[in-house]
Chains A and B, each alone.
Chain A
C-alpha cells in the first residue's frame, strides 16, 4: 500500500515544482555554457519495484555518466543527473574544449566538470524551490559514476529506496537544439517528508 496519497492536484504541484526548480537549473547551465537549453515537461512517478526497471529511458547497457547528491534540510532526498556518453562529450567539448577518447581516458578533470555542472544545476534547482516554499535545503558534494545506464540508475534508486516504504521520482529531461544532447534529472524525495511540502503549498 502506498502511504502518500498522490491525487491529481498533488501530482500537478510536484510537476510544477519540478518545472520551476529545473527552470532555474537549466538557466544556470545556459549561463555556464552559452548554449540555450530547453526543458521537457517534468513527470512524476510513484515507483514500485515493477516500474523501477522501466524508468530507464536509455538502452540499459549504454554508457552513461551520472552524479548523485544527498540533499538535507526541509525537503531531504537525492538529486541525480544522468548524461548519455555522447551528451557528456558535448558538455566536455563546450566547457573544456576537449573530450575523453573513452572510459579509460575519463580523468579527474572530466569528472570534476560533470560534478560542477551537477552542483550548479542542483544548487539552482533547490534555490528555486526554496524561494517558493521558504524551505532551507543544502546539498552535499556529488558522487560520480560512469557505467551501464541500468546499473547507474539502479544504484541510485536502490540507495534512495533504502529505509523507505515507497519511492517517488520527479523526472525531467533537458536538451538543446544546437547539439545532439540530452540530460536527465531526477529528484528522489524522502516520501515521509512530502506532507510537509503539501502543507506549505496548502494542498
Chain B
C-alpha cells in the first residue's frame, strides 16, 4: 500500500474499485466510511456517509450522503440486488464524537453507525471489521486486491489488519 494511488471518497461521495485498487477516506469525524465487498467479483464500493437520513427537499443530495440512501447506492454500484446482498461483506470506519459536551447533542456519529448497522442487519450483510465510535477522528485505506486495511488516528501508530480470510479473498500466487 502507499505506492498505488488511493481513490478517496469525499463527503457524500461513492468510490469503486474492482480487482485492484485502494479505496479510502481522509479525516472521518462523525462521518462513517461504509464499504461493501463482493468476493465473487473482487469489487468494492465505499460511501462517505455524513448523516443518518435525508431531510426533505435536500438541496444537494449525493447518494452517499445519508446512511439510508448510501447502502442502496452501494448495492447498485456493485450490481447486487438486495435479495442477494447477503453474499457481500461490510466494513465500517468512523462515527466518532470529537466534540465532548456539545450543547446541541445530536449524536450524529453514533446515529450514523446505528443506522448503518441496522440496515446491514436487514440486508443480512456481515460486518467483518469495525473501527467506530469513541472520540477520535480516523483515516483509512483498504486494498481491494489483498484485503489489507490500514486505519490512522491522531497521536497513535496506524493499525493494520489483514481481512482477506474474513472477506473470502483467495490467496494468489506471488
Contact = CB atoms under 8 A, between A and B. Distances in A.
A34 interface: no
A145 interface: yes
B1 to A, nearest CB: 16
A158 interface: yes
Given A1-B59, A147-B136, A149-B27, A159 B103 contact: no
B99 A154 contact: no
Chain A binding site: helix, strand, loop or mixed by DSSP? mixed
B99 A143 contact: yes
Contact of B99 (A3, A49, A144, A150): A144
A175 interface: no
B146 interface: no
Interface stretch (B28-36, B71-79, B80-88, B120-128): B28-36
A42 to B, nearest CB: 23
A169 interface: no
Interface string B131-152: 0000011110000000000001
A109 B77 CA distance: 49
Contacts of A152: 29, 98, 137
A6 interface: no
Interface in A59-100: 60-61, 63, 68-70
A71 to B, nearest CB: 10
B41 interface: no
Interface residues of A, number: 42
A159 B18 CA distance: 33
Interface of A: 1-3, 48-50, 52-53, 56, 60-61, 63, 68-70, 102-104, 140-141, 143-156, 158-159, 161-166
28 contacts: A49-B11, A49-B12, A49-B50, A49-B60, A50-B62, A56-B27, A61-B152, A103-B155, A104-B155, A143-B101, A143-B102, A147-B154, A148-B27, A148-B29, A148-B137, A150-B137, A151-B28, A154-B27, A155-B97, A155-B99, A155-B108, A155-B109, A156-B99, A158-B11, A159-B30, A162-B51, A162-B108, A166-B59
